[in-house]
Amino acid sequence: MASLIEQLTERLREAGYRNTPARRAVLEALIDGPSHMTAPDVVAAVDESSPSVGRASVYRTLELLTRLGLVQASTLGGTETTYMLAPSGHHHHAICLECRATLEIDECVVGELEGLLCQRTGFEIRGHLLEIYGLCPRCATSQRNSNQTE
């Protein structure tokens, strides 16, 4: 079975792009790092692991990977853009607005909606993003407590 990095570079190749050290370095940073990284996070990680790769290539690669759908950008309910590897299959997130923790959700209820949308509008669907915002149990509890003492 092909490793994740191999699968991803293969998808680049299929789309007509070359398999270069800079692109591998960005993919590896995303694979090895936390599930959501800002652009400067990725720049720093690449600079750590592959100092010969330039900043500009990191930005160019993040843009390319996002355009091809290998990577997905999201604001996680805040204002800061983060990048994550686009999960194959369905994985969505519940995000705590307080502590920024993310929780994976496996259930996917979007499929049925996509069918309907495609039928009604002729939209050709490529993917989707579903994020649920709220307070994780820990933060919900501590917020209730602090309200009591106010």
Q: Does 10 bind DNA (CB under 7 A)?
A: no
Closest Cα to residue 65, out of 36, 20, 19, 23? 23
Question: Taking the complex as a whole, how short is the minimal distance between the CB of residue 136 and DNA, in angstroms?
Answer: 24
CA distances from 148 to 47, 142, 144 (A): 47, 10, 6
Q: Does 115 bind DNA (CB under 7 A)?
A: no
Question: Taking the complex as a whole, how short is the minimal distance between the CB of residue 131 and a second copy, in angstroms?
Answer: 5
Q: Does 74 bind DNA (CB under 7 A)?
A: no
CB-facing half-sphere around the CA of 105: CA atoms within 13 A: 14
Q: Does 101 bind DNA (CB under 7 A)?
A: no
Closest Cα to residue 42, out of 16, 19, 73, 17? 73
Which of 55, 67, 138, 144 forms a contact with DNA (CB under 7 A)?
55
Binding positions for DNA, 17-46, rule CB under 7 A: 17-23, 38-40, 43
Question: Taking the complex as a whole, how short is the minimal distance between the CB of residue 1 and a second copy, in angstroms?
Answer: 28
Closest Cα to residue 53, out of 62, 43, 63, 66? 43
- DSSP class of residue 87 equals P
Choosing among DNA, a second copy, none, which partner's interface includes residue 23 (Cβ < 5 to 8 Å by kind)?
A: DNA
CA distances from 109 to 38, 91, 106 (A): 28, 11, 10
Q: Does 73 bind DNA (CB under 7 A)?
A: no
Q: Which is nearer to DNA, 61 or 102 (CB)?
A: 61
Site residues, DNA (CB under 7 A): 13, 16-23, 38-40, 43, 52-57, 59-61, 63, 81
